[in-house]
């Protein structure tokens, strides 16, 4: 799943960012990720609306927590609220909006803010297992992937990271 992708005019990172890809997580369980879904708030359904995404929230189910507790009462009660808010993208990443420029700003801030990048990696996988083995090169690759919306353009978009 690509959590953050920024696209640029003419595939040139020196140009302005033009759009982003909004990709929802999977409800299917995988060994490296818990199930999740997103709710997008859209500016729309009125005359003159922009139909832009103005907010995004991700909800997830912590399968490790659910499976670790074998008490039937816990599972019955937990299933009533199995999906919990994991994060609100604008609030948790300090974004003024969800515009392409704000996504580019987020990627640039992750270059110097280790805590922000760690939060991004943990939210990307919906757990912290990858953080335990992710060295400096691995961490830069997350930022490179965010800046490289065009496959095979890493040498252009990631030069100097």
pLDDT in tens, 66-96: 777 666 565 556 556 678 899 999 999 999 9
Retrieve residue 67's tokens.
Answer: 């499976």
pLDDT at 1 over 50: no
Phi, psi at 79, each rounded to 5°: -65, -20
Nearest-angstrom CA–CA distance, 107 and 127:
20
DSSP 41-86: EES-SSTT----EEEEEEEE--HHHHHH---HHHHHHHHTT--EEE
pLDDT in tens, 8-51: 666 666 667 777 878 888 888 766 778 888 999 999 889 999 88
Nearest-angstrom CA–CA distance, 86 and 34:
11
Nearest-angstrom CA–CA distance, 136 and 5:
20
Helix, strand, coil shares, percent, the chain, to 5: 40, 20, 40
The pLDDT of 43-62, averaged and rounded, is: 90
**What's the whole-model pTM score?**
0.80
**How many C-beta atoms surround the C-beta of residue 160 within 10 A?**
5
C-beta separation of 91 from 102 below 8 A: no
């Amino acid at each position: 799943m690509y959590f953050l992708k920024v696209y640029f005019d003419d595939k040139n990172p020196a140009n302005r960012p033009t759009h982003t890809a909004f990709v929802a997580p999977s409800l299917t369980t995988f060994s490296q990720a818990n199930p999740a879904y997103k709710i997008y708030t859209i500016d729309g359904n009125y005359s003159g609306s922009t139909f832009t995404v103005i907010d995004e929230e991700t909800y997830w189910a912590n399968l490790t927590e659910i499976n670790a507790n074998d008490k039937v009462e816990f599972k019955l009660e937990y299933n009533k609220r199995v999906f919990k808010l994991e994060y609100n993208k604008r609030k948790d990443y300090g974004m003024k909006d969800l515009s392409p420029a704000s996504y580019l700003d987020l990627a640039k801030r992750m270059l110097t803010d280790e805590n922000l990048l760690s939060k991004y990696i943990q939210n990307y996988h919906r757990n912290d297992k990858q953080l335990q083995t992710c060295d400096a090169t691995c961490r830069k690759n997350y930022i490179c992937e965010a800046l490289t919306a065009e496959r095979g353009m890493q040498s252009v978009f990631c030069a100097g990271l």
